Structures are given as structure tokens and as C-alpha cells.
Chains A and B, each alone.
Chain A
Amino acid sequence: MRSLTLHLKILITVLVLLGVAITAYQIYVLEIPVSENETDDLWNIDAKVEFVASSKDPVKVQMFVPPLNRDYVSITESFISNNYGFSVNRADGNRKVTWSARRVSGDQTLYYRLVVTKRSSTEKATAKGPTFRDSLALDGPEKIAAEALMAPIRQHSADVETFVSETIKRVNNLNDDNVKLLLAGDTSPLNKAKVIDLLLSIAHVPMEKVHTVRLVADVPQTPELWLRSFNGKDWLYFNPDTGEQGLPSDRLLWWTGDDNLITVDGGRKVNVTFSLSSSEMNAIRLKRATDENTDADFLEYSLYGLPLQTQQTFMIMVMIPIGVLVILVLRNLIGLQTLGTFTPVLIALAFRETQLGFGIALFTVITALGLSLRSYLEHLKLQMLPRLSVVLTFVVILIAAISLFSHKLGLERGLSVALFPMVILTMTIERLSITWEERGGSHAMKVAIGTLFAASLAHLLMMVPELVYFVFTFPAVLLILVGFMLAMGRYRGYRLTELVRFKAFLKKADS
């Protein structure tokens, strides 16, 4: 006996640990969201390219598209271009799409559409970049002005980061004569960046221009310029206007370098407009969508790998153990009396189709009518099988009648009755009537109400969408349930109703 207990304890421990471990692995390693309501922002970015093609020459449009190697994952990417050929190629960490067509004329519109989401994992790809470069050639007054600017910058900085941000701040100080000279009256961001680049090159600090798009919905925008420099470990991003370091999280890196966003051969009046919109997506679906692109098929061996129809079935099936657990607790811990063990679970499943309130009403009506028929049949002294057949047929007719009436009355709900399991109803009627005869009406009522209560509770629990999602996504939870059920198998404590049943012992002790 003791060895059996030990055996059981080990079994329970193993099952629970296995269940917890698999679930934890799914949550923490595979990063499957714990709740269905967990959603991620999705950004829908449209870049619309418009130009006028000159009818003589072939057209070749080259445009940068996001390289997507940093914090964002693309879910879908599409190049919408009527009768243009297109190709995408990578160069120097940038990605470029090339649309080409031999003979087009008039206004042309091309679309680039990208749906991205933030990468949920925090792991960082090791960045690579230059840490040294040669100075740009300078002479004359510019050289003197640059060197005059460099002296205080060197004084006020300690490393690459502070050096760059100090430089940017100096260049943005438009009252400085040296800056004025270097800018030569042009204070556009691009020119400022050029001057910053110049100054940094004197100190041999490499600098790169970064063009970003801001993830804000419904605001017209053009790519925003940022500067970045490599400090040996990471890229440091700087705002060219303020010298502030760090790229805000809502910036999507579009391309780097000095080149323009778009070059068009054989066309003019080029215009690119960005429009962004955001939407939310169920996290698990998102996960699947992104995985199609990143070919990590971690969901392949989960229940999500099944065909959709089968998934629906399994969503119901994985909940049945939960329903059974409810009955187990109600019967063995509480001591509620029900008709049979699994009848309440089956009734609970039937409630899925009919909804709870209607289901209970229906169940009560059909059972009550069935019981009265059964008590009438009792007078006819029929044998069991014929009697059961009569009751079953009666139940079918009753269900058909209810469906017909409710349909005529315009209650579509009534049609769901058809799926109410007739055999379960028949058996319920039969057993209830036997209980009635043997133990009396009050006991039969008690059992019937107990059954309905257990069924309702099981139904409500089985319908909690969060729970359905959780169990379906993490089926290993069922192992934990089995562990609990095993433990219940050797539970010796009192049932709640026994505390009432044996009250007589206490009354005597008191008096």
C-alpha cells in the first residue's frame, strides 16, 4: 500500500512537472502568447510612387525599401506594379526594388506595401560597422573654420557618443560664425548633416545617414534623416537637429547612405508619398503569419497544425476533461448527486448548441414531458427495451415539434434543439423515472437539479474563451489535470455534504 502511494506520488509529480515544463517551454521559449486577447500592433505602410513616363525611353525605377534586419519583422510585402517587371536586391545593408518596363507612357503609379510588426524577441544581432575613416579633404577658410570648431568639441567630449552629439549641437548653433561659414547659408537638414559629416571626418569618426519612416498613422510624411555612428559594438543613432542620442522606438529604418530614396530613369515629376495605418492582430495568428516568413515552424506540431475544421472539433474536445474535472470536484469533494458520472458533461456539451438558459428550459420541458409519458407507460407494463424505444421516439417527436413551433414563431434558437442528444435525454428520463420510483420524487428532483447544476457549471467553464484558448494552445495543461485527478483518486477526506449528513454526531456532543 505504501509503495503504491509512493508510486502514485511519483506519477503525479512527473505528470505535473511535465505539464508545467511543456507549458513553460511554450510560453517562455516559443513565446506563444498566454491569452488570445494579447494583440500586437501591425503597421501597414504604403509607399506610392508617382511619375510621368516619357514615352520614348524604357523606364527603370529604383527605390529603397526597408532592409528589416533590426527590430521589425515583415509579415507581408508586396510590390504592386501593373506590367512592370520587378526585382529586389540587397547592397550595403540596404534593400532596393527595381521596377522596369520597356514601353510605358503617361502618369504611372507604383505601390510598395509592407506590413510589419515589432519583433517580440529581444535578442540582438551583432552589428558590424566601420570605426575609422580617412578625413575628407578641406582647404581654405573652411579648413580653418572646421578646425576652430573641432577644438572645443574635443574638449567637451569623452568618447564617440559624446563627440558626435557635441558636434551636432555645435553645428546647430547657427549664431556661430564658423558654422555659418561652413553651412554657407543653407540650413536644410541635409546640408547640416553634410557639415556634421565633414567635421566628424576630421576626427576620423565614421558617420552614416539613416533615413527613417515614423510609425504614426494618418500623418503625411517624408523620410526623416538621422545620423548614426558605430562605436565598435552598436550603432548609435543621433538626431541631426538636437544631437540627442537614441532612435525612438517608432522609427522604421528605411535605408542608409547618401543616395536618394528613389531614382527614375525615363520619367519625370517623381513623387513618393507614404501612408501608414495601424491595426491589431490576434497574437497567435500574427505569430503564425510571421513564421511563414521566418520559417520557424514551431506551431507545426501543436494543435494549430491541424486543418481548421479539425481544430474546431479539438477546441471542444480538449475542454471535455475540464468538464469532467468539474463533475469530479462536485461529486467527490462537494458530494453533489448527479445522474450518472458523465451525463452532466454530455448535457453540458449539448448546451453549446442551445445556449445555457434555453438549454435548461428545453431540458426541463422535454424531461418533464418524457417523465409523464414514462409514468403512463408504466401502467401498460411494457418491457424495458420497447419502453425505452417508445420514450426515445417520443423525445424525437417532441424535439421536432419544438423546432417546428419555434421556427414558425420566428425563434431560430429552437432549431438548435435538433442537436440536443436524444439518447442522452432518453436515458436521463429513464434513469430519473427509476430514481423517482425507487427513492421518491424529492430524491429524483434533487438528482435532476444536481445534474442540471453540474451540467451548467461544466458548460460555463467549458465556454470561457480564455480557458479554451489556453488549453487548446497549451494542451500539456491536461497532464496537470490528470495529476490532479490521480490525486483525487486517493482523496479520503470528507465530502462537503457529509459534513451535513453526519451532523448528528456533533449535536450529541454539544448536549
Chain B
Amino acid sequence: MFGLIKTWKALEARGIMGINRRNADYVLKYNKRHLYPIVDDKIITKERALAAGIHVPEMYGVIETEKDIDKLDQIIGGRTDFVIKPAQGAGGDGILVIADRFEGRYRTVSGKIISHEEIEHQVSSILTGLYSLGGHRDRALIEYRVTPDPIFKSISYEGVPDIRIIVLMGYPVMAMLRLPTRQSGGKANLHQGAIGVGVDLATGVTLRGTWLNNIISKHPDTTNAVDGVQLPNWDGFMKLAAGCYELCGLGYIGVDMVLDQDRGPLILELNARPGLNIQIANDCGLTQRTHAIEAHIEALAKEGIQEDAAQRVKVTQSLFGHLPHA
């Protein structure tokens, strides 16, 4: 009991945010319920992003009804690689990534060969709402398959590494690089076994990482060091993330982005309830940073100033950047 109180105090002192605080002070306070569909439905997110001129992976087509499934061939066309996603999926579930074709069948990114019927069944499952948040009917989205920039080759097992930035009222407060592992099956979700690696907000240099709630500094599959890697085009990521506030209107979001080798930084999806393991990856609590941003916003509001995305990025980079490397 005494040990627990000590742990509690220590975590509090480091400003570690718990689920209850995240929900009460940030998600409920800054995220208006009626805006949720924008982030929960990837198709709406994509449309909004396109309208705002923000880069997203190209959308090949949408399947809304069982009848539409017949159009799958037409949507895919002659493409050999593409991604099928539920529009309202959560946590990366239900996503099918086709990397290649193989004698009339398809090869997924993990090397599994599947038939066209299996793809159709997957689409059908998506439509019935198997992967959607509330279990209601959903749409399937077929889009461009991102080819990760070769920079990640050395520290990634397979799949597409992505970059998650937590954005509070348009100010990026914490960033992490998510690397798929053999255990995560090519997915970049931490609870499925992917690694989260903290990123210095100012420089885009990786820090140490987290894997299954532990602090690590090497990739478990490739044993290469995950820290000290310079992410290319970092300011581009930061501005992209900061701009998402205007895009969706939600005040506390996690922005998931990828670095495509041809098209540069792209927004994958937005999350209205971003996870908390990013704190372990950065070895830093969120609460102090969010408090600093809230104080900054309050000060600005008094003077009646509004900052644009580029200014906001500068502010957070000067506030939270240039951490001493571990």
C-alpha cells in the first residue's frame, strides 16, 4: 500500500497523465462530440484533408454496399498494391494491405497469399460493421499503399512505420515514431506489440523507445539502435500535424502520419482518444507540456492574438524541443 502511494507520488511529480485525467481534462474538454465523425470516419477525414490541401494517401474508391463489392475489380484496376480499410475502424483492425499479386491471387504485406474471394469476404465483413466502433454498418476504403521511406529500413521489421504526434489546440506537444515488429504483425499499434520511439520535437531526432510498457533502445527484431536517428522532413510533419486542428476542430488529437518515399509526409488518420504510451516512449509526462500550452493559449487569448500552424510549431519546438539525448 505504501509502495503504491510512493509510485503515485512519483508519477504525479513527473507529470505522467493517466487515462482518467486524459478523459476528464482533455478528451471531454477539448473534443466536441459532434466533431467525432470527422476523425472516426477515415473517408470524411480524407475529404476534409483534401479540401484543406493537406496531403493524404490517394483514395482509389469506396465500397458502401454489398452490391458495390462487384466493383472491387474495377476500383483496383491494374494496381498490384493497395490497402483496404474500414472507414470507421479502430486501432488498425480490419486493415488489409496487399503488396503484390501472385498468379491470380494476392500477397499481403506479411507474405500470406489470399484469393479474391477472401478479399471480398473481408470487404463484406467491413460493411457489416465487424470492425467499426459501434458495430454498425460501415464503408470500406481502398487507397494507395504507402511505401515507407528507406530511412526506416534499419530500424523497422516490416509494415509501415508511422509517426504519431499529439496535438493540443493546434500545438504539437509530443511525438513518437511507431515501428511495427514481428509480434505486431506489421501493424504500428503499440498494444499489438509495435515499438514506440520518442522524437525530439525541435530536431526530429529519435530518442529511446517503449515496447510493451518497457523502455528500450534497440529494435527487438533487427537489434539496431532506435535512438539517434534523424527523421527527414521533420518540420513538414510538425506543420502537417499542427494544421490538423483547423482540419477537424478537435482540440486534443493524435495525428498519425507516414513518410512515403515518393510523396513525403502524409496524414493517415486522426485519433480523438490518443493512447498514453507515448509518454513512456519519450520518457516524459504529458501533463506538464499540456499545462504549458494551456497557459500559453490563455496568455495569447488575453492579448487577442491567434497563431497560425507555423508559429505554433515554433512555440512548441522552443518549449519542449532540444532534449538532451539519452
Contact residues of A with B, CB < 8 Å? Answer: 1, 332, 335, 381, 383-385, 434, 438-439, 489-496, 498-499, 501-509
The residue of chain B having its C-beta at the shortest distance from the C-beta of A501 within the complex is B213
Query: 0/1 per residue, B128-167, Cβ < 8 Å to A?
Result: 1110000000000000000000000000000000000000
Query: Of B7, B24, B121, B192, which is within 8 A of A506 by CB?
Result: B7
Shortest Cβ gap from A426 to chain B (Å): 13
Given the known inter-chain contacts A438-B91, A491-B20, A494-B18, please indicate yes or no for A499 contacting B128, CB distance below 8 A.
no
Shortest Cβ gap from A317 to chain B (Å): 27
Question: Which A residues are in CB contact (< 8 Å) with B64?
Answer: none
Query: Of B117, B121, B130, B214, which is within 8 A of A504 by CB?
Result: B214
Query: Of B16, B25, B118, B192, which is within 8 A of A502 by CB?
Result: B16
CB pair B191 A491 closer than 8 Å: no
Question: Which B residues are in CB contact (< 8 Å) with A503?
Answer: 7, 213
CB pair B19 A434 closer than 8 Å: no
CB pair A494 B20 closer than 8 Å: yes
The residue of chain A having its C-beta at the shortest distance from the C-beta of B14 within the complex is A505
User: How far is A332 from B19 in the complex, measured between Cα atoms in Å?
Assistant: 9
CB pair B20 A1 closer than 8 Å: no
Is B4 an interface position by the 8 A CB rule?
Answer: yes
Query: Of A384, A489, A499, which is within 8 A of B11 by CB?
Result: A499
Shortest Cβ gap from B23 to chain A (Å): 9
CB pair B14 A383 closer than 8 Å: no
CB pair A494 B8 closer than 8 Å: yes
CB pair B215 A502 closer than 8 Å: no
- A-B contacts, 13 of them at CB < 8 A, read A1-B29, A381-B117, A381-B118, A439-B191, A489-B24, A490-B24, A494-B16, A498-B19, A499-B7, A503-B213, A504-B215, A505-B14, A507-B215
Shortest Cβ gap from A82 to chain B (Å): 73
Question: Which B residues are in CB contact (< 8 Å) with A439?
Answer: 191-192
Shortest Cβ gap from A396 to chain B (Å): 21
Is B280 an interface position by the 8 A CB rule?
Answer: yes
Given the known inter-chain contacts A1-B29, A504-B210, A505-B283, please indicate yes or no for A495 contacting B11, CB distance below 8 A.
no
Is B124 an interface position by the 8 A CB rule?
Answer: yes
User: How far is A45 from B125 in the complex, measured between Cα atoms in Å?
Assistant: 77
Given the known inter-chain contacts A492-B24, A494-B8, please indicate yes or no for A383 contacting B124, CB distance below 8 A.
yes
Is B21 an interface position by the 8 A CB rule?
Answer: yes
User: How far is A380 from B124 in the complex, measured between Cα atoms in Å?
Assistant: 13
Is B10 an interface position by the 8 A CB rule?
Answer: yes
Question: Which A residues are in CB contact (< 8 Å) with B16?
Answer: 494, 502, 505
The residue of chain A having its C-beta at the shortest distance from the C-beta of B124 within the complex is A383
Task: Sort A-B residue pairs by CB-CB distance and give the 4 closest, nearest first.
Answer: A384-B128, A492-B21, A494-B18, A381-B121
CB pair A438 B93 closer than 8 Å: yes
Is B279 an interface position by the 8 A CB rule?
Answer: yes
Query: 0/1 per residue, B177-209, Cβ < 8 Å to A?
Result: 000000000000001100000000000000000
The residue of chain A having its C-beta at the shortest distance from the C-beta of B326 within the complex is A508
Instruction: Please name 10 further chain A to chain B contacts, defined as beta carbons within 8 Å, in addition to the given A438-B91, A503-B7, A508-B215, sorted by A numbering.
Output: A383-B125, A384-B125, A491-B20, A492-B20, A499-B4, A499-B11, A501-B213, A502-B11, A502-B279, A506-B11
CB pair A502 B19 closer than 8 Å: no
CB pair B11 A504 closer than 8 Å: no
User: How far is A489 from B72 in the complex, measured between Cα atoms in Å?
Assistant: 46
Shortest Cβ gap from A33 to chain B (Å): 36
Shortest Cβ gap from B108 to chain A (Å): 16
User: How far is A509 from B13 in the complex, measured between Cα atoms in Å?
Assistant: 12
Given the known inter-chain contacts A384-B125, A499-B7, A502-B11, please indicate yes or no for A493 contacting B280, CB distance below 8 A.
no
Shortest Cβ gap from B217 to chain A (Å): 11
The residue of chain B having its C-beta at the shortest distance from the C-beta of A498 within the complex is B18
CB pair B19 A335 closer than 8 Å: yes
Query: Of A381, A434, A505, which is within 8 A of B10 by CB?
Result: A505
Shortest Cβ gap from B166 to chain A (Å): 16
Question: Which B residues are in CB contact (< 8 Å) with A494?
Answer: 8, 11-12, 16, 18, 20
- Chain B interface residue count, CB cutoff 8 Å, equals 34
User: How far is A507 from B214 in the complex, measured between Cα atoms in Å?
Assistant: 10
Query: 0/1 per residue, B99-130, Cβ < 8 Å to A?
Result: 00000000000000000011001001100111
User: How far is A475 from B82 in the complex, measured between Cα atoms in Å?
Assistant: 60
Shortest Cβ gap from A388 to chain B (Å): 10
Question: Which B residues are in CB contact (< 8 Å) with A434?
Answer: 130
Shortest Cβ gap from A354 to chain B (Å): 28
Given the known inter-chain contacts A383-B128, A499-B7, please indicate yes or no for A504 contacting B213, CB distance below 8 A.
yes
CB pair B20 A495 closer than 8 Å: yes
User: How far is A439 from B194 in the complex, measured between Cα atoms in Å?
Assistant: 12
Query: 0/1 per residue, B256-287, Cβ < 8 Å to A?
Result: 00000000000000000000000110010000
The residue of chain A having its C-beta at the shortest distance from the C-beta of B215 within the complex is A504
CB pair B19 A495 closer than 8 Å: yes
CB pair A332 B20 closer than 8 Å: yes
Question: Which B residues are in CB contact (< 8 Å) with A509?
Answer: 10
Shortest Cβ gap from A343 to chain B (Å): 14
CB pair B24 A502 closer than 8 Å: no
Shortest Cβ gap from B127 to chain A (Å): 8
Question: Which A residues are in CB contact (< 8 Å) with B191?
Answer: 439
Question: Which A residues are in CB contact (< 8 Å) with B117?
Answer: 381
The residue of chain A having its C-beta at the shortest distance from the C-beta of B3 within the complex is A499
Shortest Cβ gap from B28 to chain A (Å): 9
Question: Which A residues are in CB contact (< 8 Å) with B125?
Answer: 383-384
Question: Which B residues are in CB contact (< 8 Å) with A504?
Answer: 210, 213-215, 280
Shortest Cβ gap from B11 to chain A (Å): 6
The residue of chain A having its C-beta at the shortest distance from the C-beta of B92 within the complex is A438
Question: Which A residues are in CB contact (< 8 Å) with B121?
Answer: 381
Question: Which B residues are in CB contact (< 8 Å) with A489?
Answer: 24
Shortest Cβ gap from B281 to chain A (Å): 10
User: How far is A357 from B14 in the complex, measured between Cα atoms in Å?
Assistant: 44
The residue of chain B having its C-beta at the shortest distance from the C-beta of A499 within the complex is B7
The CB with the most chain A CB atoms within 10 A, among B12, B19, B214, is that of B19
CB pair A385 B20 closer than 8 Å: no
User: How far is A379 from B130 in the complex, measured between Cα atoms in Å?
Assistant: 15
User: How far is A504 from B277 in the complex, measured between Cα atoms in Å?
Assistant: 11
Question: Which B residues are in CB contact (< 8 Å) with A506?
Answer: 7, 10-11
User: How far is A342 from B24 in the complex, measured between Cα atoms in Å?
Assistant: 21
User: How far is A492 from B19 in the complex, measured between Cα atoms in Å?
Assistant: 8
Question: Which A residues are in CB contact (< 8 Å) with B12?
Answer: 494
User: How far is A335 from B121 in the complex, measured between Cα atoms in Å?
Assistant: 36
Shortest Cβ gap from B193 to chain A (Å): 9
User: How far is A489 from B16 in the complex, measured between Cα atoms in Å?
Assistant: 20
Shortest Cβ gap from A500 to chain B (Å): 8
Question: Which B residues are in CB contact (< 8 Å) with A383?
Answer: 124-125, 128
The residue of chain B having its C-beta at the shortest distance from the C-beta of A333 within the complex is B20
User: How far is A360 from B132 in the complex, measured between Cα atoms in Å?
Assistant: 30
Query: Of A384, A496, A507, which is within 8 A of B130 by CB?
Result: A384
Question: Which B residues are in CB contact (< 8 Å) with A495?
Answer: 18-20
Question: Which A residues are in CB contact (< 8 Å) with B20?
Answer: 332, 491-495
CB pair A493 B130 closer than 8 Å: no
Question: Which A residues are in CB contact (< 8 Å) with B129?
Answer: 384
Question: Which B residues are in CB contact (< 8 Å) with A505?
Answer: 10-11, 14, 16, 279-280, 283
The residue of chain B having its C-beta at the shortest distance from the C-beta of A335 within the complex is B19
User: How far is A1 from B298 in the complex, measured between Cα atoms in Å?
Assistant: 13
Question: Which B residues are in CB contact (< 8 Å) with A385?
Answer: 128
CB pair A496 B14 closer than 8 Å: no
Question: Which B residues are in CB contact (< 8 Å) with A507?
Answer: 215
